[in-house]
Structures are given as C-alpha cells and as structure tokens.
Chains A and B, each alone.
Chain A
Amino acid sequence: MEIIMSILAGTLFAAGVYLILQKQLLKIVLGTALLSHGAHLFILTMGKLNRGKPPILIEGIKDYTDPLPQALILTSIVISFGVTSFLLVLAYRTYQSNKTDMMDQLRGTDDE
C-alpha cells in the first residue's frame, strides 16, 4: 500500500509541477494546491500506513498509528490553505490591475 501511495503522491506532484510551469496565473494557483496535497500524502506515507489504532489514547490499547506525521500535516494543511487563498487574491488583484493573468506579459521592465 505504501508503494501505491508513494506513486500517487508522485503523480499529484507531477501534475502540480506541470501546472506551475504554465503561463496562466490561475493554473499556477491550481498547481500549488495539487502540490500541497501531494506533499501531505508523502508525509503521511513516510510514517507507515494502517499500523495500529487511530492516535487517540484508549485504555488497554498499546499500538497506535504514528501521530507525528499527522501533527505535521495538520499544520501544513492550514498553512497551505493560507497560501492558496493569498495566491488566489493576488491573482485576482493582478488581473484587476493589469487586465491580464498571463505570466509572460507580467514580467518586470528591463531596468529593474
């Protein structure tokens, strides 16, 4: 199962990277969302899957799923939500100001 999930994480990553390499700002935003999904799955897989019970202490149970990756991912989900929404509004603002969301038209001037 871990290997399948590793491949799935890789696929999500590849799709995210492909989107980031596109010209349209919107696609780049979508790409970052896919990237963070891939990263979360990656971290979860690192901690091995389906070993023991969910990490909530119950009397008499010794084996729990690794709680550490879950804590890391929880932090990451919230942050990537912040980043995605920031990027979205940024894309929106950029389009409002420049009337385009194509990256190659948004380059700075030469003397910058």
Chain B
Amino acid sequence: MLHIYILIPFLAALLIGLAAKKVDRIHTGWFVLPVPAVLFILFISKLPTLAEGKIVQSIANWIPSLDIQLSFYLDGLSMLFSLLITGIGTLVVLYSIFYLSKKEQLVHFYVYLLLFMGSMLGVVLSDNVFVLYTFWEFTSISSFLLIGFWFYRERSTYGAQKSMLVTVFGGLSMLGALILLSITAETNSIREMIANRSDIIESDLFIPILILLLIGAFTKSAQFPFHSWLPDAMEAPTPVSAYLHSATMVKAGIYLVARFSLIFSGTDVFFIIVSGVGLITLCLGSILASRQTDLKGILAYSTISQLGMIMTMLGFGTGIATLAAIFHIFNHATFKGSLFMIAGIVDHETGTRDIRRLGGLYTFMPISATLAFFGAFSMAGVPLPIFNGFLSKEMFFDSSLKLEQTSGFAGMFAEWVPLLAVIGSIFTFVYSMYLVFGAFTGKAKLDQLEKKPHEAPIGMLISPIILIGFVVLIGLFPNPLNEALLAPAVGSVTGDFALTHLAFWHGFDNTPLHMSLVVVAVGTILALTLKRWQPIYNRVPGKFSTDRIYQSIVNGLLSFSSKFTKFYMTGSLRLYTSIILVFLVVSTSIFIYVTDGFKIAFDDLAPVTWPEVLVGFVMAVAAIATIWMTQRIAAIIVIGVVGYGLSLLFVFFRAPDLALTQLIVETITVALFLLCFAHLPKLKKSDKKPSEKLVDFIIAASTGALLTVVAICAHSSKYFESISKYFVDNSYKLGGGDNIVNVILVDFRGLDTLFEIAVLGLAALGIYAMIKYRDKGDMNH
C-alpha cells in the first residue's frame, strides 16, 4: 500500500502536463489539488491502526544483491510527517492557485511540487537507509528547482545554487554515515540498526558516524553554521517557502535526528552537539531575525531559530523534551505556514515585502492582519490558552530544567541551557512583535506602495484561516491531538508509548511560567525600543558572517579548479603523455613493491639460440637509431628493419600466421610511409634543451624498464593455469579447423574480429574523408 502512496505524486507529476494541455482554461492547480487531499485522507484512515500500537509496512525488492529493498513503514513519527506533507501540501496547493497567475509556467511549478511531495514521503517512510538517502537527495533537487522557479532573476538562481550546494554536501556526508552504519550494524534497515544499537555505540566509528550524520541533518534543517542557505531560498514563490522551507523539507533534518534518536540518544556527545548547535541556532536565528527588513527574511530567520529549538529538544532526549519537540514540529507548521501565506498575501496586494515601506495595513486587510496576529503571538509564546505555540514553548522551558545530564562537561553545559533558552525566546518574542506590528499597525505609507492595498480574495485566505484554526483549537484542546498523533510519534522516537497529559495551567508556583513571564516582559521592552537599538546590528563586522564564508569557499573552489585545470590542460601533447606515463610507472612500481610482486625465475626458460638474439640485437639498435634519424628515407628504412625483424622473430617462435601478416602489413606500411613522407616536411633535429631531453629520456627509459619488469614478473609467477589448452583441444571438435589461430579468430573470438574489421573500416572512412576534405578546403582558401 505504502508504495502506491509514494508513487501517486510521481504519477501525477507525469500526467499533469497532459491534463494542463487539454484544458487550458482551468488553473492547473485544480488538477493537482486532489493528489495531496486524497493522500491526506488515506493517511488519516491509518490512524486507528497506529492507535492500536501496530505499524503499517510494505516491502518490495529493488537491488537484492546489495540488500537494498524498497521497504516502507508507517509508525507514529512517519505518520506525523506524512500528515504534515499531505495536509500542508493540500493547503499550499489551494493557496498557490490564487497566488500564481495563469501566465506563469504552472506545469513546471506543479511537477516540481509533486516531485517534492513524493520524495519527501519517501524520506519519512523508508526503512532502508539507502532508499532514504535517494529520496533525501530528490528533495534537495526539487527544492533547487522550486527556488529557481523564476530562473530569470539572478537572486533566484543564486539562492537555488546555494541551497543545492549546501544540502547536497550534507547529503553526501550523510551517505558516508549511512554506509558506516550499515557496515557497523551489518544491516541496511533502520529498525534493525536500532536493534543492534550496542554494536554501533561501542564501535570505534561511533563519533565519525554521529558527526557525519548530523552534518546531513544540520545542513538540511538549516542549523548553524549551515543556516545561510535558507534566507536565500526565500526567492522561491511564497507557497514554496511555506511548504518546503518552513513546514516540511527543512524538517527532514529534524526527522533524521528523531529517527536515529533511539540509537544515539542518551550519549553525552549526542546531547552536547545536537543541543549545543540547536541552542546556538535558536539564539542566532532569533537575534538576526529582528535585523531583517524583508517580511520573508524575518520569517526565514525565524524558521532557522525555531528549527534550532526543536533540534535542542531532540538533543535533550528526555520523554518530555521529545514530546515538546514533536508537538512543536506540528505547531510550527501551523503558525509559520500561515504567517508565510500572509506574507505572500501582503506581497501580492501591496507589491512589496519591505517592512520599512509597510505599515497600517490593518485598516485595509483586517482578516489577514488578524490571522497574522494570531500566528505571531503563537510563535512568540504569549501565555494565553488559545495559542498552541505557548504550550510547546512552556514544555521547552520545562524540559530544559529537567535535564538528566549532571556530571562532567555535559552537566556543566546543561546548567546553561535554561538561560540560553530564555535568551532565544526573548528575541523570538521581539521579532514576532516586530513582524506584525511593523507591517499591520502604525501609519500607512500608501505613497510608497505600488498599488492600493485591499483584502485578499477569499481563496487565498482559506488556507491560512484553516491553519490559524488549528493554532487556536489545539491551544484550547491539545489532548485529542496528543492521543491520536503525538503520543505514537513520541513512542517511535523514545520507545516509550506512555501518554503524558497536556495542560495549559500548572499553577503560579512553577519555574517555566516564570520564565515565560520574563520573556514577555523583557521582550515587550525590547520590542518597544527596537528602533533605538536596531542600529547596533550594523556595528557587527560582516567578515565572520557565514554568508561570506560560504562565498569565499565557493569562489576559492572555482578559482582553484580553474587554476588547477589550466595548470595541466596546457594543450601540450608531450605534457599529457608524460603525466599518463609517469602515473603509470609510479603507481605500478608502488603496487609491485607493496605486494612484493617482483619475481624472476630461471628454471622455465626456452634455450637461448643465436639467430634470435642476433635479430633481436639488430632490432634494438634500429629502434634506438630512429631517434636520431634526420633523413626521412633513413627513418623509413630503420623502422622497416624493426618491423621485418619482428616478422623474422615470429618465424623463429613458431607463429607462421603472424609472420605472414606482419610481413604484408610491414610492406604496406613502408609503402604508405614513403607515399606520405614525400608530402611531409623534413625531419628536424630536436631543438630541445638538454634538461628536456633528459626528462624525455628518463620517462622513456623507465616506461621501457617497467614493461620489461612486468613481463619478467608475469612470466616468472604462476597464478593461473593457462586457458590455451581449451583452444588446442576444441579447435577441431568445435571449430572444425586445423589452424588453431585461425579458428580462434573466426570462431571462438569471432566478435573481436568483427570489431577489428569495423575499426579498419572506420580508419579507412576517416582517411578517405580527410583526403576528400582537403580538396574542398583548398578551394576555399
């Protein structure tokens, strides 16, 4: 069943182009809308099965020889993500119908979107790590295509390329981790890896595996220091930002960490790295968000910061922290998705997303403004029972106070966690207020807007209204959701399926509430005085920003590879040949040395007879003499001596067919040389410097020496039985001929001969063409 679920979006992507061609009066989005909607219902229908504590799974073979199966399974965690992917997907497609005009390349857009949907489902449902990796990279590619949707804008292509480079870099690093994992645990299945947890934890490769895997997760989820691709990804159309870059794809890293939690969680390294990076990202993202002037820029940094918070909680690894993380994954999708959509509406209705030019929009678009206030207050964690964001935020504070790490460095770090959590949350409060109050209240600056703002069409408002509906509903009644969805998801992360009751009010006398109140109080003061302290940002030197670091790495790589390529791609044949030969000689020599392959045996040699030696000596002299020949005719004669000498050797060594062929070929070659040389310039004496000559000599001598050594070694060692006996025995029986060499050529290895003839034919064609072409060329000159 699950195979079909994953296949549906891909199939739809194939068919959507056809549908759009047939009916061009209807917005393509309407054809796409049923896909996520139906999938959403299908996944919902599996909820009762999960509630019974079962999982849904289906397996099909893909590459059995490598133990790679398309095995998918649906447990609590996959269910949460699948519902987000299809649910938010439905709302986003609906929203996009009104957001994107019919003049855009709609088919491209929806094909990319459906590709993403299918691959993301593949990521969260795969049990086989290599299948997971494949889908993981597919999401990177579809994200790249969607960010670059408006490919004629320079910022779009820049952002697309950046996200691609960063996430694929992380993906490759993750692949490394997965390969190490599959070697250590001797399985490719995630569930079996979890069962073999102790093998992995105790292995020497534990730290490399963990770090490589986390690089994959951190790049995808835009964690420090890999976060800088996400703000640039905001060049994508807003539905994409709402879908991929806040609700789903950027949470793939979170998913990965959660999925492998049962293996790594509980170790100090995991806690320090994941929570440490998460907290840095939380604070940095929220601090930088208040600096942005683009609405979507604020939301992008806010997403980075919120992802950092979820990551931190997964690093804690305790039951309450995991529940809070899972809860916040859901809540973040609701309020951030709606805020993105509102930002899109503002952009759509006013023509700008620059917060300095916006203001007072409440009067013109009251519904959007109200929705934005709900979303932002939930994000800020305002302590009212109608905001789901507050519930998960308070659980975050709670879990930061109940850390189990007490000793060593992890214990020291754990003591600082609550403070950092509060700092991050204060700035979260600040940018949330900055976002909504800056855009919707104050004085309207209509003269700075391209068009007179008005409320968005109802179609665009439906999706954010539904999302904000969830914000309030879950804020009021969190427990039904908890039972149906959150508890099974937490269970698949921690292995403990016990239900924790969620409540808004825990009494006055509890620390998390005090922390929330501090956040609100300090946050309000900072938000009110934002204009005064905002200039501080400009004082921070930009030299250390990750953006610059990324840019210098990319520039460095480009100029390095260009220099390096120019260094050896000089267009000089001599250099190319030298590089190839030196590499051949060096690598083969090292190999012979390392494997102790040099052998020389004198016991199995043919007797030395003088005629052969004499011919050989003449050949050697003639071959070396060619080097100094300055007369063309002399060069032809000495090269002929070598060739005819070789055919004599063939006679001595009992190869009559070879001798005959060599004789004929040599005669034709000499004739050909004579014919061509008449038209060619005289041979010149080499004008090379002695040092160059020495290099040539060394390369030539060492290549020749290597060949001799290889020949002697091969002759002296007996690793395999000769296969020639087969031909001797079967030449007459199977080939029906007495001349074994001929039978081999035309029968046993007949295809070789066929291709040999083809090569000869091609050479003949080439020669003919070159001679023909000359006539035409001469006419043109």
Contacts and interface: CB of A to CB of B under 8 A. Distances in A.
Interface of A: 1-24, 26-28, 30, 33-34, 37-38, 40-42, 44-58, 64-68, 70-71, 73-75, 77-79, 81-86, 88-93, 95-97, 100-101, 103-104, 107-108
Which of B581, B657, B749 has most chain A Cβ within 10 Å?
B657
Which of A1, A44, A91 has most chain B Cβ within 10 Å?
A1
A29 to B, nearest CB: 8
Interface stretch (B336-344, B404-412, B613-621): B613-621
Which of B609, B616, B635 has most chain A Cβ within 10 Å?
B616
A18 B643 contact: no
B655 A107 contact: no
Contacts of A78: 661, 665, 756, 760
A1 B605 contact: yes
A55 B740 contact: yes
30 contacts: A5-B616, A6-B711, A10-B704, A10-B706, A17-B703, A22-B574, A23-B688, A26-B635, A26-B681, A28-B573, A33-B669, A34-B639, A44-B649, A52-B654, A55-B654, A55-B655, A56-B656, A57-B728, A58-B738, A64-B728, A67-B744, A74-B658, A75-B745, A78-B760, A84-B669, A85-B672, A89-B767, A95-B680, A104-B572, A108-B571
Interface majority SS (helix, strand, loop, mixed), chain A = helix
Contacts of B653: 44, 49-50, 65
Contact of A74 (B701, B745, B777): B745
B724 A66 contact: yes
B612 interface: yes
B763 interface: yes
B256 to A, nearest CB: 45
A79 B771 CA distance: 20
A72 to B, nearest CB: 8
Interface in B709-734: 711-712, 714-715, 722-724, 727-728, 731-732
Interface in B420-474: none
A81 B667 CA distance: 11
B535 interface: no
Contacts of A97: 774, 777
Interface in B606-647: 606-609, 612-613, 616, 619-620, 623-624, 626-627, 632, 635, 639, 642-643, 646
B574 A4 contact: no
Nearest to B652: A50
Contacts of B186: none
User: Closest 4 CB pairs between A and B?
Assistant: A14-B704, A10-B708, A107-B571, A18-B700
A59 B75 CA distance: 77
Contacts of B502: none
A92 B756 contact: no
A34 to B, nearest CB: 6
A3 B655 CA distance: 19
Given A21-B577, A77-B662, A71 B770 contact: no
A50 B613 CA distance: 14
A2 B745 contact: no
B551 interface: no
B697 interface: yes
Which of A7, A12, A28, A46 has most chain B Cβ within 10 Å?
A12
Contact of A54 (B642, B656, B679, B767): B656
B711 A65 contact: no
Interface of B: 570-574, 577-578, 581, 600, 604-609, 612-613, 616, 619-620, 623-624, 626-627, 632, 635, 639, 642-643, 646, 649-650, 652-658, 661-662, 665, 668-669, 672-673, 676-677, 679-681, 683-684, 686, 688, 696-697, 699-701, 703-708, 711-712, 714-715, 722-724, 727-728, 731-732, 738-741, 744-745, 749, 752-753, 756, 759-760, 762-764, 766-767, 770-771, 773-774, 777-778
Contacts, number: 274
Given A27-B683, A78-B665, A86-B763, A67 B741 contact: yes
B770 A73 contact: no
A70 B745 CA distance: 10
Given A34-B623, A77-B665, A97-B777, 16 more contacts: A9-B708, A14-B701, A14-B703, A21-B578, A24-B683, A26-B635, A26-B680, A26-B681, A37-B643, A40-B658, A42-B707, A44-B653, A54-B654, A67-B744, A74-B741, A82-B759
A23 B574 contact: yes
Contacts of B696: 18, 21-22
Contact of B620 (A8, A65, A103): A8
Contacts of A79: 756, 759-760
A13 B702 CA distance: 10
B520 to A, nearest CB: 63
B762 to A, nearest CB: 8
A97 B708 CA distance: 40
Given A14-B704, A15-B623, A37 B646 contact: yes
Contacts of B727: 67-68
A75 B752 contact: yes
A84 to B, nearest CB: 6
Nearest to A8: B616
A46 B713 CA distance: 10
A53 B739 CA distance: 12
Contacts of A6: 707-708, 711-712, 715
Contacts of B626: 15, 19, 30, 34
A41 B679 contact: no
Contacts of A73: 655, 658
B661 A77 contact: yes
Given A22-B686, A70-B655, A101 B572 contact: no
Which of B604, B652, B707, B732 has most chain A Cβ within 10 Å?
B707
A40 B645 CA distance: 12
